Amino acid sequence: MPGSLNTTAMARLLGPWNTGAAPAYRELADVVRLLVMDGRIPLDVALPSERALSATLGVSRTTVTAAYASLREQGFLSGGQGSRGRTGIPHRTVPVSGPGLAVPDGILDLAYASLPATGEVVHRAFADALTDLPALLPGFGYDAIGLPSLREAIADRYTAAGIPTTAAQILVTSGAQHALNIILRTLAGRQQKVLVEHPTYPNALDAIRASGSRTVPVPMPPNTERGTRRDTRFGEESGEELGEELGEDPAAGAGWDIDSMVAAMRHQRPGMAYLVPDFHNPTGRIMSNLQRRRLVREAAGTGTVLVVDETLRELNLDAVNTSPLAAFSPAVVTIGSLSKSHWAGLRTGWIRAEEDLISRFVQARTTMDLGGPVVEQLAAARLVRAFTEPLQVRLDELRRNREALLGLLAEHLPEWHVERPRGGLTAWCRMPTASSTALTVVAPDFGLRLAAGPRFGVGGAFEHFMRVPYTLAPAQLETAVLALRDAQSRLDASPQLRRTLKAPNEPAAVA
């Protein structure tokens, strides 16, 4: 049965919440929101009644009533006034409007790193797909492995990239997340170990947890971008000099601690590793060929299957020259998608692997669904065949957005340390205080929706970090950064919102 929180425990959790930096009801609501988001107050727990809490805290009942009303309005508390509302996390239920980047309530959404469709190209692909559809209508429409035309188009792209591939090595999925769930169901499972970079893509962490697997996080070293001066805060050598010593492409970052990854594989023996070596989400780093080669070699020695997420690989803003990880070993399993390069609404992804693994993936897939939508696959086949058609325009747009964001952050939040991404869609920012969750709590008051740093890790890590996408146009980015600045200023004036959070990058237990 869901529990309840008594007034004594509530007061202890709140601590010295009333600092006078804002109206008392707002300070109370802010701290309760933070406690819920930080997990200090569990979900589906009944909070004390307004009367009881006001008596314990020594404030008017009006203050508690207003605070609870604010929490209900924002989705952190259920029930009506006078009832004992239960805690919850608000869900995004409103559809996006306009270009797909601002929700109807006027809030700019920086929690999602997605782009609007490459309009004319995607529209034309669907129009052409409808002309192809009649030929398939006599069939049943079920195809658990994917339409042959799409699998052949994907295989041809890998072959052109130097990785000989046949259609039999491709399984079409309903997006990259669907692909990962199929792989986890096949290769991992209850109490098995999955190695991940730390930080990493939060939806992948969710999928690993849901599969019952145990996460083995391997920290990524901070601020290892190339071409920068020595950063005395982290004690790093010049990335440019390191690249020359290793004989690597100077544009490819050294942002992975391969020694630690190798040690984890040798000692933990994970069955699989989920990696994003190409414009890593959230840092935007790219793994060098030397690092890829060593990783593949060591994984073979420990029996760890490398599962590589390449959904961001085509968003190569700095024209960095690296080979796909599968070029170094046929045992690598690759996840691809059209979501970032073309449009997330396509819901078309794929898995590339050896044929025997594809057969196992198909068997696992049929316990989840019996195939993807036919029209979407017909459109996707045309988009894959003409993959580069919209890409240059998209890359130019993203380069402009990236430079706008980096300039705005340097101007308005100079105390934030921002790692320059090589590609992808996001910048990973180190904040001066461990206040990422707190900033996420107050940001909606300033017209922003954010994803807190701990969403990208395990064990509560990354409270010093915030991921900021550059998927908005420069004018919207300016509005967003000014709002970030104002939210940060309010947070600086409200230290009670940060006091419950632990130090950044606190080592998480490795199961």
Residue 96 has pLDDT above 70, yes or no: no
pLDDT of residue 60: 93
Same fold, 7-73 and 108-117+391-497: no
**Stretch (H or E) spanning 375:** helix 374-385
Of 3.20.20.100, 1.10.40.30, 1.10.3720.10, 3.90.1150.10, the CATH number of 108-117+391-497 is 3.90.1150.10
Burial of 486 by CB count in 10 Å (0-12 exposed, 13-18 middle, 19+ buried)? middle
Alpha helical stretches, state H, 161-311: 176-187, 202-210, 239-246, 258-268, 289-302
Class of domain 120-219+258-385: alpha beta
pTM above 0.85, yes or no: no
Lowest-pLDDT choice from 16-20, 87-91, 217-221, 367-371: 87-91
E runs forming strands in 97-207:
108-109, 170-173, 193-198
Question: Looking at the DSSP assignment, which residues form a beta bridge with residue 193?
Answer: 214
- Under 8 Å between Cβ of 40 and 500: yes
Q: How many CA atoms lie within 13 Å of 425's alpha carbon, on the beta-carbon side?
A: 21
Q: What percent of the chain clears pLDDT 90, i.e. is strictly above it? A: 58
pLDDT of residue 244: 37
- 379 versus 4: the higher-pLDDT residue is 379
Domain regions of the chain by residue span:
7-73, 108-117+391-497, 120-219+258-385, 221-254
Split at pLDDT 50, 70, 90, the class of 129 is very high
Out of 3-12, 106-115, 448-457, 471-480, the most confident range is 471-480
pLDDT in tens, 285-339: 999 999 999 999 999 999 999 999 999 999 999 999 999 999 999 999 999 999 9
pLDDT of residue 142: 85
Residue closest to 327 by CA, chosen among 362, 278, 285, 283 = 278
How many Å separate Cα 29 from the centre of its chain? Answer: 28
Split at pLDDT 50, 70, 90, the class of 170 is very high
Split at pLDDT 50, 70, 90, the class of 20 is confident
- Under 8 Å between Cβ of 308 and 328: no
**Stretch (H or E) spanning 27:** helix 24-37
pLDDT of residue 497: 63
Class of domain 7-73: mainly alpha
From its phi and psi, is residue 72 left (phi > 0), alpha (psi between -120 and 50) or beta?
alpha
Strands 448-449 and 108-109: parallel
- Under 8 Å between Cβ of 501 and 438: yes
- Kindly list the distances between the CA atom of residue 156 and the CA atoms of 1, 168, 226, 315, 381, in Å, as whole numbers in the listed order: 55, 12, 33, 20, 11
Residue closest to 189 by CA, chosen among 271, 66, 96 = 271
Q: What is the mean pLDDT of the chain?
A: 85
How many Å separate Cα 247 from the centre of its chain? Answer: 31
Q: In sequence order, which residues have a C-beta less than 8 Å from that of residue 447 and are 6 or more positions away?
A: 106, 107, 108, 479, 483
pLDDT of residue 376: 93
Q: Tokens for 73?
A: 């309005």
